[in-house]
């Protein structure tokens, strides 16, 4: 079959089970190149498991995941991953952390440094390029992690609750920063969150998942104008989407709570 050229990711009938426990149940969706898709759902619904299958850290028990038309067999440089914790090398400067990937992939010291400096500029940390991670705030460290994930020039960025450990104000700034970064690098993004406002602010589409076993309950198109900012969350279109997601999530959370 000829792969559809504009598709970055195809998740086809994917089930992931751990022993007898089904974490993800027959999930199918597609992500177009350049699209920003959020996976939204209650805790434990299988969002991370699904993201890990796209990253190649996890093999589906059934079904398949395709990236650029080819079945995912493991992690690869075409997919950058950002986790909730930045996981930086504490003994390396910001610049050296970001340059590490390109160096490992064979770039010269000068090339890796140029790539690192370009990305450090894009995430707004030029003044801190020589700093060690522990001297930076949590939000700044996470911006370094984003720059590092982009350093291999992946077409796809996979983000697992990347702002989940940050306070509300920093989180809002990080969301706007990510939208600016995305506008400059143009990557396809799959972003896992259980925060409804975050999903609507960021995404072109929100896939709302059910409580375990995880299924896609609804595929919601977010057609709010870009560039977006946190203030938009007060506008009627935003509020209507929020209400739609909230009702779905509330039913699911109640179900998960009763089952626990």
Ligand X SMILES: Nc1ncnc2c1ncn2[C@@H]1O[C@H](COP(=O)(O)OP(=O)(O)OP(=O)(O)O)[C@@H](O)[C@H]1O
Q: Tell me the β-bridge partners of 83.
A: none
> Looking at beta carbons only, is 42 or 133 nearer to ligand X?
42
> Looking at beta carbons only, is 59 or 180 nearer to ligand X?
59
Q: Tell me the β-bridge partners of 123.
A: none
Q: Is 256:212 a contact under the CB 8 Å cutoff?
A: yes
In whole angstroms, the minimum distance from the beta carbon of 43 to ligand X comes to 4
DSSP secondary structure code for residue 227 in this structure: S
Residues that bind ligand X in the complex, under the rule CB under 6 A: 18, 23, 41, 43-49, 194, 212
Instruction: Provide the CB-side half-sphere exposure for 260 (13 A, CA).
Output: 11
> Looking at beta carbons only, is 101 or 212 nearer to ligand X?
212
> Looking at beta carbons only, is 86 or 212 nearer to ligand X?
212
In whole angstroms, the minimum distance from the beta carbon of 175 to ligand X comes to 18
In whole angstroms, the minimum distance from the beta carbon of 116 to ligand X comes to 30
> Looking at beta carbons only, is 95 or 215 nearer to ligand X?
215
181, 175, 170, 189: which is closest to 32 by C-alpha? 189
Instruction: Provide the CB-side half-sphere exposure for 227 (13 A, CA).
Output: 11
In whole angstroms, the minimum distance from the beta carbon of 246 to ligand X comes to 17
**β-strands 7-18, 70-71 pairing:** unpaired
In whole angstroms, the minimum distance from the beta carbon of 46 to ligand X comes to 4
Residues 6+ apart with CB under 8 A from 166: 138, 139, 142, 174
């Amino acid at each position: 079959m000829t792969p559809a050229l504009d598709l970055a990711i195809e998740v086809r009938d994917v089930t992931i089970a751990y022993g007898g426990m089904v974490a993800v149940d027959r999930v199918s969706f597609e992500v177009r190149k350049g699209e920003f898709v959020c996976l939204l759902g209650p805790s434990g619904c299988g969002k991370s498991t699904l993201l890990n299958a796209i990253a190649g850290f996890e093999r589906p028990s059934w079904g398949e995941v395709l990236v650029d038309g080819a079945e995912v067999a493991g992690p690869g440089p075409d997919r950058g991953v950002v986790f909730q914790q930045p996981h930086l090398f504490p003994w390396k400067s910001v610049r050296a952390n970001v340059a590490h990937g390109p160096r490992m992939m064979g770039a010269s010291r000068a090339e890796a440094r140029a790539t690192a400096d370009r990305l450090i500029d894009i995430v707004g940390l030029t003044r801190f390029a020589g700093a060690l991670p522990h001297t930076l705030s949590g939000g700044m460290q996470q911006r370094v992690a984003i720059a590092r994930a982009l350093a291999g020039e992946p077409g796809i960025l996979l983000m697992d609750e990347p702002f989940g450990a940050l306070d509300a104000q920093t989180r809002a700034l990080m969301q706007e920063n990510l939208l600016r970064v995305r506008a400059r690098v143009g990557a396809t993004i799959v972003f896992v969150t259980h925060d409804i406002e975050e999903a609507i602010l960021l995404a072109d589409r929100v896939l709302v998942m059910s409580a375990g076993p995880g299924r896609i309950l609804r595929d919601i198109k977010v057609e709010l104008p870009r560039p977006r900012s946190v203030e938009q969350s007060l506008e009627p279109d935003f509020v209507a989407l929020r209400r739609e997601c909230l009702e779905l999530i509330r039913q699911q959370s109640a179900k998960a709570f009763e089952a626990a």
